[in-house]
Amino acid sequence: MKNNPVTQLGQELRRGGILWVPFIPLIVFALAFEILPMGYIIYSSIHNSEGLNFQSYTQIFHSKYYVISLKNSLLVSVAVGIIGLFIGTAGALALRSVGEAWREKLLTLVNMTSNFSGVPLAFAYIVLLGVNGLVTVLMKEKMGLDLYGTGFNLFSWTGIVLVYIYFSVPLAFMLMYPAVYALRQDIQEAAQILGASRFHFWRKIGLPILLPSMLGSFTLLFANSLGAYATAYALTNSNNSLVSITIANLVTGDIFPEPSLASALAVIMAGFLVVSIIINEKLKKQGGGIGQ
């Protein structure tokens, strides 16, 4: 009984007393906007006109269209997560060499760009890199380079990945900056005094320190890309099959909406996120031995 979670929760509530009062709005918010909606989505995914069953899941995994949309979303999310994490981490490391005044200005700028997404971001890219976009026309007239003649197409998977990277890099930058800032210069100097090369320092000291933050940041970037909808829809409409666009089409169906299928796809997406978090935690534990 000592390990009973309910008993432990009761003991904590009695021990905290009135200190728990400020947490009540948070608990109500989480219950109303996270736990209950998720519970309803799970129920909706196994309930249709024929009652309780797993027909929606069976239909999804036996349909090439839904499987391709899941595969596309996973590939795009992994690619964007890796590229965004690499660029964001490199930027955070480079920021250490910038003066304090400029550092604060750059952090403010990065924070502002991290909030620029959705339809406005898609429109901005169309204005710049569309078929008749500003950059496209300038490159053709001034440099003689036909961007679309080289195979580039903003309204394809290349464009989706490019736009997703735009709002993933600032997020990765802001997530990695505290970890990079904690990697003080004197640690590297001490390692060099003891004879460690730059490569040896990063392999034995730098990477193990940054690895937990990098894994956590990748999970957030992966989740952010997996759930993105407005940007991809505004850029390609429904021409590219992504899970988020497929769910929207099922909810707003042209003839009959299929909320059960949409809910099942949402649960599968949530399952992907849970798996990524579990893998992240296991890699963090294994990463603790890298520097040993």
Confidence of residue 292 (pLDDT cuts 50, 70, 90): very low
In this prediction, what percent of the chain has a pLDDT beyond 70? 90
Tokens of 121: 């971001």
CB within 8 Å of 185: residues ≥ 6 apart:
96
Q: Whole-angstrom Cα distance, residue 23 to residue 33?
A: 15
Boundaries of every domain in the chain: 79-262
Q: Which fold has domain 79-262?
A: MetI-like fold (1.10.3720)
DSSP H or E stretch at residue 104: helix 100-113
Let me know if 277 is exposed, middle or buried by CB neighbors in 10 A (0-12, 13-18, 19+).
middle
More confident residue, 6 or 242: 242
What is the distance between the alpha carbons of residues 39 and 170, in angstroms, rounded to a whole number?
Answer: 33
Least confident window among 62-71, 91-100, 173-182, 269-278:
91-100
Selection from 235, 249, 277, 274 nearest residue 69 by Cα: 249
The number of beta carbons lying within 10 Å of the beta carbon of residue 201 is 18
DSSP for 11-73, written as a single string: HHHHHHGGGGGGGHHHHHHHIIIIIHHHHHHHHHHTEETTEE-SHHHHHHHT-HHHHHHHHHH
Answer yes or no: is pLDDT of 60 > 50: yes
pLDDT of residue 2: 52
Per-residue confidence at 290, pLDDT binned at 50, 70, 90?
Answer: very low
Residue 266: pLDDT band by 50, 70, 90 thresholds? very high
User: Is it the case that residue 289 has pLDDT exceeding 50?
Assistant: no
Pick from 1-5, 142-146, 272-276: least confident: 1-5
In this predicted structure, what is the pLDDT of residue 17?
62
Give the whole-number percent of the chain exceeding pLDDT 90.
Answer: 29
Query: How far separated are the first and last CA of the chain, in Å rounded?
Result: 39
Q: Each residue of 125-140: pLDDT tens digit?
A: 999 998 888 999 999 8
Give just the sign of the alpha carbon dihedral 242, 175, 208, 289.
negative
Q: Do 224 and 76 form a contact (C-beta atoms < 8 A)?
A: no
Residue 46 vs residue 19, higher pLDDT: 46
* pLDDT at residue 278 tops 80: yes
DSSP state of 118: S
Q: pLDDT higher for 83 or 147?
A: 83
AA letter at 66: Y
How does pLDDT run across 73-96, given as a tens digit for each residue? 999 999 999 999 999 999 998 888
Q: Using CB atoms within 10 Å of the CB of residue 237, give its burial: 0 to 12 exposed, 13 to 18 middle, 19+ buried.
A: exposed
Confidence of residue 9 (pLDDT cuts 50, 70, 90): low
What count of other Cβ atoms lies within 10 Å of the Cβ of residue 200? 14
DSSP code per residue over 130-172: STT-HHHHHHHHHS---TGGGT--TTSHHHHHHHHHHHHHHHH
Lowest mean pLDDT among 76-80, 155-159, 181-185: 181-185
Q: In the predicted model, what is the mean pLDDT of residues 155-182?
A: 90
d(CA 114, CA 249): 27
Q: Please say whether the beta carbons of 126 and 133 come within 8 A.
A: yes
| Whole-angstrom distance, CA of residue 72 vs CA of residue 195 | 47
What is the average pLDDT value for the chain, to the nearest integer? 84
Element containing residue 94 per DSSP (H, E): helix 64-95
- Please tell me what DSSP assigns to residue 4: -
